[in-house]
Structures are given as structure tokens and as C-alpha cells.
Homo-oligomer: A and B are copies of this chain.
Amino acid sequence: MALEVVKNSDEFKRFVTKAKEIKNYKEPIGFGIARVDRGQKNSEKILQATYPIINWNENFGSAAVFIASLNECGICVDFNKDEFVTDVTREFVLNTMNAFAPFLNEAVGEEHKNVQVIKHINELFATDTIGDKSYKVVFIFEDKAPKSVESVYLKLYALSTSKADLRSLNLNGAFGILENVAWSGNTPIELEWLRENEISLKLDAKYPEINSVDKFPRFLQHIIPASNTRILETSKVRMGAQLHSGTTVMPGASYINFNAGTTGPVMVEGRISSSAIVGSGSDVGGGASILGVLSGTDGNPISIGENTLLGANSVTGVPLGDGCIVDAGVTILEGTKVTISTEEFNKIKDANPNWDANDTDVFKGGVLADLNGVHFRQDSITGTIKAFRSTREVKLNEELH
């Protein structure tokens, strides 16, 4: 059995409406078609999922077509599960082509990317050039802990394409689902396969060039950044990071982990640890560390506001607002005692009218969290860590006044 060819876009609309009448039908949060890399030794193991395009809270018509096509193949999507993954078969592609018929010709360039994916796989099937490649259709219905390699990758894509906000997705257990593999270029290789073939690979001078051994791939293996975004070394940004347009990542001591990144143009020469977010116009100086939830912050993820400067080799363990400065070499942790004069306290208070604090000599770093316009310095005569009102502009939220 195959779906009938849909004749025009009106008929397509009716097709979609009808497709959604399947019992318990649910719009997916995210879906897409992925090419998967399988284990060299154990081909049942999925090592990586590569999405040419993902859908995230969008393109529900295409989702309905995919679900109806699966149904026609006798595969019932279980809408009670958090996610659903199944093989892309010739029959599925044929059905989907029929449903997408009105759009096949116009599916080029920026138009109908899901249709382009189906068209291309259809060509591969037709010409037998599909080789050992295999494809999966993947749906996420509830943002729960992922259960498959394919859904982990779909979420990482949602983060790295900025379709989902940082920290907004449930990635619990992702480390357990992903296999630790040797990456040779974009190809993941099972470590056990390498071990079993080490003797012949080495003697034959065919041992692969390994770039990393990790569960995660690198951002640039999957994501094309905006034209004004620069990443001077691919290892410095992990898949699942989010870099907004205009961000530059230098190759010195920098690193941006997954589920971390920037919200606008940011110069990154330091470390943005997992779950940390840096605001537009800010500067993470050479070797500067923003602590992450996996190390040293009691699980409170750190946000750095806009237009804030973290000096070279500074360490920031508390969230900062807009227009702050942490001087080069200065460390501010939750427990750091920071001395503020009454004059500077009043200026900082002016820049932060909602700050609920009384004047005192010494504040713990944690108490200063999220304030705007604070300049942290170490007095080079007395060694005292002090805070001042910074010279950086802070755009006050007018509604708060």
C-alpha cells in the first residue's frame, strides 16, 4: 500500500488535517531525518546522528506527513512515548514523496527543506549509491530525559542552531547514552574496533588520524555558523554550544562546552563552562574562567550580562549583570569577601535600584550576584579585593524606575 499522490496545496492541507486525526495524535516538539553512523564492530550501535535540517516547534505539516507515511508502512508512532525513532525505508520515502508531490519542484534553496531531504534520499535509493549509509526519522514529543542517540543529537542541534534556548532542554543522562568514540574527522570509530585492528592498521600504515576521543562531536562537525562568527579552532566549541552571530572564539585558552554560549557578539578568549551564558557585547579575556555547574558553583548556572569585561586570567564564580568589569587576574567566588566603600556602595545601588542590601563594609561575592555596573579589583597596595561602580555603561531597564 502507498499513499496516493497529493495533487495540489489545497489537497495537501486536507491531507495534513486528516493525518492529524490519528488517535492520540500529538505535535512533536522536534523532529527530523538523520543519517546515522554505526559501529564498525557492532553495527547495532549508533555512534552519531547527522541532521541536514531539524524542526523545532515548527513545520507541523511535514511532521504529519512523516507520521502518516509511517502509518501507511504499518508503523504506528506511539504518542504516549517521549520520543520515537525508526528506520527510513524505501516505502516510507515513496509515501512521503507522494504526499509532498505539490512541492517537489519548488523544494530548492531555502524552500521546503524537509522535502529536499526526502527528494535527496529518494535519489540515493534510486541510484543505489546509498551504500552502507542508513537514515532514521526521529520525533521528540516530550522534553524528558533522552532515550536514544538520535534524540540526544536532535536536542544538541536545537541548542546549537539556536532554535531552543540554552538551559531549556532536558539532557539528563545524555552522557550515558552517547558512546565514547575516537573521532577521525567527522567519522566516529569504536575504540574496541580500533583495538581489534590495531596490529594490521599500524603495520599497513593505515592507522586513522584521531582528532579526539569523546562522547560528543565538535560544533563545526554539524553546524554552519553565521557569516560574521569566527571559531579559530574547531576543538574549542563542543556540539550543543550556542554561538550568536558575531561571536569570535580565539584558539588560546578558550572553550565553550555544550549547553553554554553567547547571546550576541562576544569575544571569547576564555572558558565558558557547561550551562554558562555570556551576554551581547561582553568580552571573556584570555584565560578567563567562568565556572560551570559541573565544577565549583553548587549547581547555580552562571550568566554574564551584556557589555561586561572579564579580564585576562580572571575567575568568575558568581553571575554578573551588565557593564561589569573583573580585572585581569582577579578571582570572585561566592565566598570571596569584597570590600566596598560607602560612596561606591551608593553608586552601585543607583545602578541597581532593586538591589536589596544595606551598606556595610564587606560583602560576600554571592551577595553581589547579578548586579550591574560593578568593577572588581584587587588593591595592589593592600591586597584587598574591592568593588567599585564601573566606568562601563549600563542600560537601566526604564520600567524599573
Contact = CB atoms under 8 A, between A and B. Distances in A.
Interface of A: 35, 50-53, 109, 113, 116-117, 120-121, 124, 129, 133, 135, 180, 182, 185-186, 191-192, 194-196, 198-200, 202-205, 207, 209-215, 220-221, 224-225, 227-236, 238, 250-255, 267, 269, 271, 273, 283, 285-287, 289, 291, 295-296, 311-315, 317, 327-331, 333, 336-339, 362, 378-385
Contact of A315 (B192, B255, B312, B331): B312
Identical chains bound together, number: 3
A312 B313 CA distance: 9
B120 A200 contact: yes
A287 B316 CA distance: 13
A210 B53 CA distance: 18
A196 B109 CA distance: 6
Given A120-B203, A338-B380, 18 more contacts: A35-B202, A117-B199, A133-B205, A180-B229, A212-B251, A232-B235, A235-B235, A252-B254, A252-B271, A269-B271, A285-B295, A289-B312, A296-B311, A313-B313, A379-B383, A380-B384, A382-B382, A383-B384
Contact of A383 (B133, B333, B383): B383
B328 A313 contact: no
A315 B253 CA distance: 14
A212 B224 contact: no
A330 to B, nearest CB: 7
A109 B198 CA distance: 10
B210 A221 contact: yes
B312 A328 contact: no
A235 B341 CA distance: 45
B230 A215 contact: yes
B199 A336 contact: no
A16 B331 CA distance: 64
Given A133-B205, A253-B271, A313 B331 contact: yes
Contact of A253 (B124, B253, B381): B253
A362 B209 CA distance: 52
A298 B166 CA distance: 35
